[in-house]
Structure 1
Amino acid sequence: MSTEPTASATVPADGPSVRIGALVPLTRPGWIEAGRHVLAGLEAAVRDVNDAGGIAGRQLELLVRDTAADPQRAAEAVEELDRLGVAAVAGEYHSVVARAVAARADALGLPFLCSSAVLDALTDEPSELVARLCPAQSHSWRIYADFLLGAGHRRIAVATRPSVYWAAGVRVLRDHLAPHGGTVVELDTGALSPAALCEELVRHDATALLLLVGHPEPAVPIVRAVRHDGRLTEVLIGAPAGQPEFAEWSVLLGADGAGVPFLRYLPERLGPLGARVGAALRERLGEAPSFVAFEGYDTVTVLAEVLRTAGTGRKTIAEAWPRVGVEGTRGPIRFSRSPGIIVWQWAWPPVQVVDRDPAAPGRFRVLHTG
């Protein structure tokens, strides 16, 4: 379940380190590419913190654990990290896994800073221990719904599978679109083949199809089927969860994967810190960093500031969430209690609706901001 600390997090011989647990999906069925980007950001920030003197002279050490998108495995990893004496846990991409992490961490009195899981209900009860960097799903998906309305789409189909995360997304879209005359029809990809799904799109006269499914299966075959059905050439394919952000999407789909709008949490233009970190992440990853990599970097930046100003005790870390203020790669970060959100929340990171340019699929176009 575990991996060895990376070189950027090596414990020095002259003193104890400050340990942070890092939870990321690094094997299937987890979204490996997303996990790799989160981890790259976490590791890059740890290196920068240590190069700048660490935490009051102590090095920051990252203990990495692979969740593999498995909530039970993630909860067990939290228990292991608790026994190893970490000051806090951080990371995770998959919302259902992050919920399991938050619940176990809260029960153990262990602070958890969530990097990249957007489900509103990250915990069942209000928690003083849990904070989140990425926007809540209800916030960002309403911005996506505004994009659809602005582009003239009122008849929306969603290709989905049973999941707390996907169901929550459907509710956000339906509630936001309905007052404007929009409708949302759900198409179960567990029961429909890609060809049968195309028939349903024709039958419902949908103008947009949103992919609320996993990647690469079944998202990739669905995109191929729709793109090559002559009756559906005017149907917009969208992916609010961000599947087209990563290079694997373009590799698997080529030109078929362009023009698929998704949510991205980056500003219109990165400032000096973001530009410097972006260049370092590109070198580390060997490709353009996704917004998820920036989320990973900002996670450690926040934790390092909390550890420096509040100390390494778990209780003092949790008490510091509402007081911390730090410059992140994507803007100033502060936490508050947002309406309807019962964890400490950065309200809000920048939100964009972006697609891959059909004329140059390696280039992104910003279509809408919120």
Structure 2
Amino acid sequence: MHTPSGAVRIGVLVPLTRPGWTEAGRHLLAGLDLAAREVNDAGGIGGRPLDLVVRDTAADPVKAAAAVDELAGLGVAALAGEYHSVVARAVAARADALGLPFLCSSAVLDTLTDRPARWVARIAPAQSHGWRIYADFLLGAGHGRIAVAAEPSVYWASGTRVLRDHLVPRGGSVTELDLRALSPAAVCDELAGGRATALLLLAGHPEPAVPLVRAVRRDARLSGIMIGAPAGQPEFASWATSLGVDGAAIPFLRYLPGRLGPLGARVETALRERLSAAPSFVAFEGYDTVAVLAEVLRSRGVDRARVAEGWPRVEVEGTRGPIRFSREPGIGVWQWAWAPVQVVDRDPADPGRLRVLRAG
């Protein structure tokens, strides 16, 4: 990759190949790249161009940690990006060990680091914040008895724990169905024999989420069961392409306000043109990441320690509201508290249209 002379380099980590969620990676990179181009059009960082050095993580924590080492050796001023929480954990741990600032764009796992980290900050809201809003939505919709169909992962296990801790004290219950052991047909049998009124998909897209949705939708015994996907699998166009109307009326979390301001509306138009599709909240997270880093680099310079010292001092008007970072209980990184949160679904009458069901 050709690097402009005298450029300020930012290392970018995104999932661009399978088994990573490549559609999320493409949206994230589109937002990061758009913001970088706008920074350069406005004169760069003190007259120096901003250069994104992109590495594909492919949802692999080992590959991502190796990329952190490589990028550190290339002299990047900071790291940005990542979507998958397990990968972002590996990146955060390695970046903190190396003294390399990392602004995480999209991963929401609360424990992004095992101990307080001075080098790491995050744009995306913590999982416990968003998933508690989702749990309140479930209760408000009359769904206290929840089944979760889960794959093994620290991220899915953390989500299940958030739901249980929030629902059980309010009279709810959470039953776990292990997707390692149960086929879609077996999940349907478990649901038919149980008392749950909602099934939550804590599983990857397209496998095994898509076949499971199809199986539940086609099982006459389960016509009254609501399907939910708090992690946001239905956000992307490939969900509607794969499932059509079967993928509608499945509530999920997204991190957008009810109405975008002037900056957000302008960025949405530019992102739509780049992606040839409606931009997801992940694309906005990418844009906001570079907007924050550019402001820190302008005000603090490119010294890594000074960049990290800038997390609690920076304030930037992002696409979804003003961004500033603080220390939040139980979260070891500098955190934007909080990005706006919505529960939305796809309209059964028009699966290309999203309906807002709750805002938090």
Whether TM exceeds 0.5 here: the answer is yes
**What whole-Å deviation, never above 9, does each CA across 1:93-112 have from its counterpart, x for those lacking one?**
00000000000001110000
Secondary structure in 1 matching 2:214: helix
Residue of structure 2 in register with 1:120 after alignment: 110
C-alpha displacement at 1:192, in angstroms?
A: 0.6
**What whole-Å deviation, never above 9, does each CA across 1:287-346 have from its counterpart, x for those lacking one?**
000000000000000000000001110000000000000000000000000111111000
Residue of structure 2 in register with 1:361 after alignment: 351
The CA distance in 2 between the partners of 1:144 and 1:261, in whole Å, is 9
C-alpha displacement at 1:232, in angstroms?
A: 0.7
Residue of structure 2 in register with 1:54 after alignment: 44
Question: Given the alignment of the two structures, is residue 273 of structure 1 paired with residue 248 of structure 2, yes or no?
Answer: no
Question: Partner letter of residue 211 of structure 1?
Answer: L
The CA distance in 1 between the partners of 2:346 and 2:300, in whole Å, is 43
Alignment partner of 1:77 out of 57, 67, 71: 67
Residue of structure 2 in register with 1:255 after alignment: 245
Secondary structure in 2 matching 1:93: coil
Secondary structure in 2 matching 1:215: coil
Question: Partner letter of residue 183 of structure 1?
Answer: S
Question: Given the alignment of the two structures, is residue 132 of structure 1 paired with residue 113 of structure 2, yes or no?
Answer: no
Alignment partner of 2:303 out of 299, 309, 313: 313
Question: Given the alignment of the two structures, is residue 231 of structure 1 paired with residue 221 of structure 2, yes or no?
Answer: yes
C-alpha displacement at 1:141, in angstroms?
A: 0.3
The CA distance in 1 between the partners of 2:128 and 2:146, in whole Å, is 18
Alignment partner of 2:187 out of 194, 197, 204: 197
Q: TM-score, normalised by structure 1?
A: 0.97
The CA distance in 1 between the partners of 2:185 and 2:292, in whole Å, is 47
Question: Partner letter of residue 27 of structure 1?
Answer: T
Alignment of 1:27-46 (within 5 A): 27-46=17-36
Question: Given the alignment of the two structures, is residue 331 of structure 1 paired with residue 331 of structure 2, yes or no?
Answer: no
Question: Partner letter of residue 242 of structure 2?
Answer: L
C-alpha displacement at 1:54, in angstroms?
A: 0.3
The CA distance in 1 between the partners of 2:7 and 2:301, in whole Å, is 13
The CA distance in 1 between the partners of 2:252 and 2:321, in whole Å, is 21
The CA distance in 1 between the partners of 2:6 and 2:336, in whole Å, is 31
The CA distance in 2 between the partners of 1:37 and 1:233, in whole Å, is 34
Question: Partner letter of residue 217 of structure 1?
Answer: E
The CA distance in 2 between the partners of 1:113 and 1:180, in whole Å, is 36
Question: Partner letter of residue 263 of structure 2?
Answer: L
The CA distance in 2 between the partners of 1:154 and 1:299, in whole Å, is 36
Q: Which structure 2 residue ranges, 5 or more long, are not aligned?
A: none
Residue of structure 2 in register with 1:347 after alignment: 337
**What whole-Å deviation, never above 9, does each CA across 1:116-135 have from its counterpart, x for those lacking one?**
00000000111110000000
C-alpha displacement at 1:180, in angstroms?
A: 1.1
C-alpha displacement at 1:204, in angstroms?
A: 1.2
Q: TM-score, normalised by structure 2?
A: 0.99
C-alpha displacement at 1:234, in angstroms?
A: 1.1
Question: Given the alignment of the two structures, is residue 290 of structure 1 paired with residue 280 of structure 2, yes or no?
Answer: yes
C-alpha displacement at 1:238, in angstroms?
A: 0.3
Give the number of aligned pairs. Answer: 360
Question: Partner letter of residue 116 of structure 2?
Answer: P
CA RMSD across the alignment: 0.7
C-alpha displacement at 1:244, in angstroms?
A: 0.1
The CA distance in 1 between the partners of 2:344 and 2:255, in whole Å, is 10
C-alpha displacement at 1:355, in angstroms?
A: 0.3
The CA distance in 2 between the partners of 1:342 and 1:97, in whole Å, is 16
Question: Partner letter of residue 35 of structure 1?
Answer: G
Identity fraction in percent: 76
C-alpha displacement at 1:210, in angstroms?
A: 0.2
List, as ranges, runs of 4+ consecutive aligned residues in structure 1 with deviation greater than 2 Å.
none
The CA distance in 2 between the partners of 1:223 and 1:94, in whole Å, is 22
**What whole-Å deviation, never above 9, does each CA across 1:337-364 have from its counterpart, x for those lacking one?**
0111111000000000000011110000
Question: Partner letter of residue 339 of structure 2?
Answer: P
The CA distance in 2 between the partners of 1:125 and 1:117, in whole Å, is 17
Question: Partner letter of residue 293 of structure 1?
Answer: A
